[in-house]
Amino acid sequence: MRAFKDGILPGVEFQKARWTGGEITPEIVVLHDTASRLTKGSAANYLRDNSRKVSVHFVIERDGTVVQQVPVDRRANHAGRSNYHGRSGCNGFSIGVEIVNPGRMTSGAGDKARAWYGVLFDLEEYGIEWAETPEQGGGLWMPYAEAQIGALIDLLQSLFDGVDTLKGITTHWYISPGRKVDTNPLFPLEQVRSLTFGREDPVDEQVELASVVVGAGEMVQIDVPGDVLNFRRWPSFNPNVIATIPDGTVVPVLREGEFQGRRWLSVLYGGQEGWIVSGYAAAISFQEAETR
C-alpha cells in the first residue's frame, strides 16, 4: 500500500482500537454517522474501547480532526450484518469511516431537536431540517460541518491514492437496508464521490435540469440586515458554501428553481456562479441598481 506504513496513514493520530481483527483486502469505504454526542473525543473514545466489540478505521470530528483506530489492512467491526452487491459480511473487505453526528432526531421543546440520548439542539443554530427518504424514513437531521466534509474528501483521496484495491464508496444504510439509516439524508454523497475521484460533478447537471433561466437584466439585493448571506455552490444546505455576500449587495440573477421545498436563485457574485435562498433577496430593477 503506497504512502501507508503498517496500514497507518501518515500525519493522522493513531489510537489503537481494542477490537482489531485479522488482515483484509479492502475494496470499499463505508461511511457512517456516530449517532453520538458532539463533544470532541466522545465517539472516538467509545469506538476505541467498548464492551460491544465495535470498532472502526477512522473517526472524523466536527472540527475536521481525523483519528485512525484500525490499520486499513486489518478488520474493524463497523458494518454488522451487511451486503454489498451480493457479497455479505462487509467488515471483511471494507474500510469504515465514522462521521460525528447525532443521527436521526425528533421534535423537542420550542425550536429544538432532540437526539436519542436526550440532548436538545437549536434548529437554527445547527441548520437542522426535516428530511425524508424511502430508505431512511423521516426525521430531523443535522447537516455535516464544512470541516468534516473537507476532511472526509482529503481522507478519501489519500485512501484511494494509497490503497490499490479500493473500488468504491458507499454508506451504512446502503449495505444494511432497513436496519441502518446512516449517513443521514443531508449527506452530499454524490458530491463527495465526484470530488474524491476528480469527476465532473453530476449535481450540476441535475440542478440545471430542475431550474429555469430568468429574464435578462433581473437583479436582486441581498436583504440580511447587519449580516452576510451564504453563497453556495449548489441549492442545498449541505456543506458547500463558497463565499458570503454582504447585506445590501446587488447581484444579477441567472436561474431560479425550487429545491427541498425552498425557492433558490442562481446569481453571479465575485466572478462566480452560485446559489442563494430567495427569501433573503429582494427584487430590484436595473434602473434602481444603476443608481446604487
Residue 221 has which C-alpha cell?
439585493
Co-location of 151 and 274 in the same domain: no
In this structure, the answer to whether residues 140 and 39 fall within a common structural domain is yes
Same domain membership, residue 149 and residue 52? yes
| Residue 5: inside a domain | no
Asked if residue 45 is part of any domain, the answer here is: yes
Residue 281: give its domain's CATH number. 2.30.30.40
Domain boundary among 174, 197, 220: 197
| Structural domain includes residue 123 | yes
Helix, strand, coil shares, percent, the chain, to 5: 20, 35, 45
**Other beta carbons within 10 Å of 74:** 18
6 located within any domain = no
Same domain, 132 and 164: yes
- Could you say which of 172, 197, 222 is where a domain stops? 197
Which of 148, 177, 197 is the C-terminal boundary of a domain?
197
- 56 assigned to some structural domain: yes
Does 175 share its domain with 239? no
In this structure, which amino acid lies at residue 16? K
CA-CA distance, 181 to 172, in Å (whole number)?
7
The CATH number of residue 101's host domain is: 3.40.80.10
Please answer whether residues 120 and 38 qualify as being in contact, where contact means their C-beta atoms are separated by less than 8 angstroms.
no
Tell me whether residue 203 is in a domain.
no
What are the pLDDT digits (tens) for 152-184? 999 999 999 999 999 999 999 999 999 999 999
Could you report the per-residue pLDDT of 12-42, keeping only the tens digit for each?
999 999 999 999 999 999 999 999 999 999 9
Are residues 220 and 191 located together in one domain of the fold? no
Contact 145, 63 (CB under 8 A): yes
* Number of domains within the chain: 2
Residue 83, pLDDT > 80, answer: yes
Over residues 120-164, the pLDDT tens digits come to 999 999 999 999 988 899 999 999 998 999 999 999 999 999 999
Check whether residue 57 and residue 151 sit in a common domain: yes
279 and 184 assigned to the same domain? no
* Residues 12 and 154 sit within 8 Å (Cβ to Cβ): no
Decide if 2 is inside a domain.
no
Q: How far apart are CA 60 and CA 189, in angstroms?
A: 16
- Residue that has been written with the C-alpha cell 452576510 in this structure: 228
Full residue range of the structural domain in which residue 271 is found: 208-290
Tell me the pLDDT tens digit for each residue of 220-235.
999 999 999 999 888 8
Q: Do 176 and 220 fall into the same domain?
A: no
Residue 158 parent element (H or E): helix 146-162
70 and 111 fall within a common domain: yes
Are residues 173 and 44 located together in one domain of the fold?
yes
